[in-house]
Chain A
Amino acid sequence: MTRAGRVSGGLAGPGLAGAGLAGAGLAGAGLAGAGLAGTGQLTRLALRRDRIALPASVYVIVAAVAGTAYTFKKLYPTAAGRAALAATGEGNPALRFLYGRLYGSSIGALTTWRYGIWAGIFAALVAIFVVVRHTRTDEEAGRLELVGSAVVGRDAPLVAALLTAITPILAVTVLLAVALPFTGLPATGSAMLALGIGACGLAFTGIAAVAAQLSATARAARGIALGALGVAFMLRGVGDAAGAGGPSWLSWLSPLAWIQFARPFAAERWWVLALPLAVFALGVAAAFRLADRRDLGAGLLPGRPGRPAASRLLSGPFGLAWRLQRGALAGWVAGYAVTFAASGAAAKGIGQLFGTSTALQREFTRLGGQAAIVNAYLAALMLLAGLVAAAYATSAVLRLRAEETDGRAETVLATRTGRVRWALSHIAVAVGGTAVLLAVAGVATGLGYGLRTGSAGTEVARMLGAAIAQLPASLALAAVAVLLFGLRPGAAVPGAWTAVGLAVAIELFGQVLQVSHWVLDISPFTHSARLPGGTLTAAPVLWLSLAALAFAVLGLSGLRRRDIG
């Protein structure tokens, strides 16, 4: 065994050894076999590199699930109320598409329904990003080569990456199993739900490990694993929505649905846990086999060659900006189409759902600001579409800053392309993309709702208008990004995202917390019309558009005067 020769020692850096984090002990002495030398150090290094992101994602998942359990307890104190909610949830195919099936009407069952699958999705995302980041990304960047030339076992990097992904998943599982009973849920069901979510994360750890071996680039590896997650969501979405007589068996093909099929809080079926664990085991075994057979840097799937010459479209700054951003926009459009079609379809019968809790009904009427619950719900959806579109627009504008700091802007600006034209090329994509996203949100919501109520034509037109009414507010936030990029480039990224976060916080919590009007008025969405149901007036649209224009002009004139790079 030639590999045994490399054992002993490891990357015994004193700095790393001192940075002991929870979970690193897993990789300790027990794994010091052949090919695994250095695993402990590599795991500690990886956990150290992710020391902010991992605890944050663990917190988000645990808080979301435990918070949901707590909220249900507060909102639905009576069994009758819960039964009504469960009946609506079960009867509405769109809600089943979004959240899955319901088993029972206890608070635990409702929590599982509302957040079980979504917590599974978050756990899967954590697993995918962590595994790919510490395998293929490192390999692609050449860091693995550096590490591999030190006294590190051949299998150590992959084991370390897996341990790094397992650590937060384990933390989520343990914390949920401990925290949920404190909200009053039964311990057994809590453990089952926690294990179901954790096992789902493990399944995608295995899938991501294989994906990272298959492709030669981290980007493609993430694409494969995220594609698998998307397919898993759609399979169970269609299967769950199908109901009796439809292809409801499709759900069984999806690791996400196994969480609900394990039936936490409803006569737990422990054997279902074997399915995700088997996917994990198979994936990890396959990943090790693939890793052993290939060369460093190589992938099983050949990298696709591209065009040896540019098409006519790629001939100026606008063509370039479109080319750089079209992939991301396509992803956003697809996400918008699915989310809003399903959410729109859920609108029918939403009255019953919210009729089940007087507290919730009051809340929702307030959120939309209208009396009619369906309109309030649809208006809230459009507000959400506007807020998320503002986030898209901000990310599209901030691409300018990334191009600048990565040094690619310099290459373009050393040609006949002037600064303003270059900036406008990306701003144009941001503006056009935001308009497209809002239009998609409107049409999808209108179709989803209209097809179920038999009035698709009117609903599409009505919702399209309602969605487009959010455009000035979304663009006003994007204009803040332009302003900062031109005047304070160093603060552009944190500043622009703070603005978006502030708008989201004000819209979601502002009225609940009863903050002053001055604060509410900061968010551009406070000024845009609540449609459908509200009335559209010209003045706020005009003011928002003028403000956006002024910000953009100020930003661009700042860009003309400042240093680049």
Chain B
Amino acid sequence: MNATGTGARNAIEVRGLRKSFGRTRALDGLDLSVRAGEVHAFLGPNGAGKTTTIRVLLGLLRKDGGEARLLGGDPWRDATALHGRLAYVPGDVTLWPSLTGGEIIDLLGRLRGGLDAKRRQALIERFDLDPAKKARAYSKGNRQKVALVAALASDAELLILDEPTAGLDPLMEATFRECVNDERRGGRTILLSSHILSEAEALADRVTIIRDGRAVETGTLAEMRHLTRNLVDAELAAPADLADIPGVHDLDVRGTRVRCQVDHAALDDVLSRLTTAGVRSLTCRPPTLEELFLRHYSAERAGLGARS
């Protein structure tokens, strides 16, 4: 398989990645490409293979097959050199209980090869973290903050964040989003693994949805929406029948109220039929990421029998 070419410009380029643990197949031909400078959301429910992918990219796990390139290098062979250019926040942050948060932030910064003291201070204030507390006294959210501050205060060109907001309260989640937007403006590449779709929707330039160790959808949110149906909800002056238009799905007509899902190609026909009947009110919106996601998963689930 050819990983160079398009892969050369990409921060992360994964093709057909496979990894098994005993008889469990964690990754089954996964594809993932993260372009330099973008925020890429890596979506999937627990157990889909997000963390395994990240651990292969970090050189912690050895791949069974496929291609993986990270910042132009081999994540297994060049691990130590590549790690100087990235910062990683694990999904389940465990810290050394006898060290303080401030000590851990400095330690991780030094292990990565540098920390911006000013940014460190600013981030500690922004995340409202007490750096003099021993790690054993931190809550899960505070442990997460320690790892985030350490990663964001580093000079790394690539940030790999594995479910970074699990455990953060809504206020800190907002702070985290601000920080990610700042980093994007600063030109950093971010791989953001998550199962919180609103977070991905708010932050990500591009999205990869994975299921059972395989990427099932990838692209910008706009692209992904383009391939799917719009949701139309209209209140009309007189009843209208849309059932004969190809591309209209899940039609629900109750008197003058019409609700349905419409393929992009059929939108013109539907709208002209509605205006003919006279429109009192109309909403037409693309599906949310959550709707996309759920549709994908329920479709997959429905097709499960056929697959195996």
Q: Complex: how many Å from CA A314 to CA B100?
A: 12
The answer, yes or no, to whether A316 is at the interface (CB within 8 Å) is yes
- Chain B residues with CB under 8 A of A295: none
Interface of chain A residues 388 through 421 with chain B (CB within 8 A): 406-408, 410-418
Contacts of B58 in A (CB 8 A): 410, 413-414
What bracket does the count of chain A residues touching chain B fall in? 35 or more
Q: Mark A281-307, 1 if CB is under 8 A from B, else 0.
A: 000000000000000000000010111
Specify which of B81, B106, B134 is in contact with A303 (CB 8 Å cutoff): B134
In chain A, what residue has the closest Cβ to B150?
Answer: A411
A74 on interface, CB distance cutoff 8 Å: no
Residues in chain A near residue B111, CB distance under 8 A: 316-317, 412, 415-417
153-206 of chain B: CB within 8 A of chain A: 160
> Looking at chain B's contact residues, is the secondary structure mostly helix, strand, loop, or mixed?
mixed
Residue B90 at the chain A interface, CB threshold 8 Å: yes
Task: Please state if B99 and A415 are interface contacts (CB–CB under 8 Å).
Answer: no
Tell me whether B61 is interfacial, beta carbon within 8 Å. Answer: yes
B74 smallest CB distance to A (angstroms) = 14
Counting CB contacts under 8 A, is A247 at the interface?
Answer: no
Q: With A407-B92, A563-B60 as known contacts, state yes or no: A307 contacts B83, CB within 8 Å.
A: no
A-B contact count (CB 8 A): 118
> Which one, A115-123, A320-328, A532-540, is touching chain B?
A320-328
Cβ-defined partner of A217 (8 Å) among B112, B136, B160: B136
In the bound complex, residues from chain B placing their C-beta under 8 Å from that of A418 are 79-80
A324 touches B96 (CB 8 A): yes
A310 near B102 with CB under 8 A, answer yes
Size category of the binding interface on chain B: 35 or more
Residue contact B106 to A314, C-beta cutoff 8 Å: yes
Q: Does A561 contact B (CB under 8 A)?
A: yes
**In the complex, are the beta carbons of A417 and B102 less than 8 A apart?**
no
Q: Does A52 contact B (CB under 8 A)?
A: no
CA distance A217 to B98 in the complex (A): 11
| In contact, A306 and B90 (Cβ under 8 angstroms) | no
Q: Which residue of A lies closest to B136 (CB)?
A: A217
User: Within 8 Å CB of B133, what residues of A?
Assistant: 303, 305-306
Residues of A within 8 A of B60 (CB): 410, 413-414, 563-565
Interface centre among A140, A324, A406, A416 (most CB of B within 10 A): A416
Whether A563 touches B62, Cβ cut-off 8 Å, given contacts A305-B132, A315-B107, A408-B96, is yes
Q: How far is the CA of A565 from the CA of B58 in the complex (A)?
A: 12
Nearest-neighbor residue (CB-CB) of B103 within chain A: A310
Nearest CB of chain B from residue A529's CB, rounded to whole Å: 39
Complex Cα–Cα for A544 and B107 (A): 37
The CA-CA distance from A464 to B102 in the complex, in Å, is 41
Q: Complex formed: what's the CA distance from A30 to B240 in Å?
A: 78
B62 near A306: Cβ-Cβ < 8 Å:
no
Report if A309 contacts B (CB, 8 A).
yes
Q: Which 3 A-B pairs have the closest CB atoms?
A: A310-B106, A306-B100, A415-B111
Which residues in B have some Cβ–Cβ distance to A below 8 Å? 55, 58-62, 79-81, 83-84, 86, 88, 90, 92-100, 102-108, 110-113, 131-134, 136-137, 147, 160
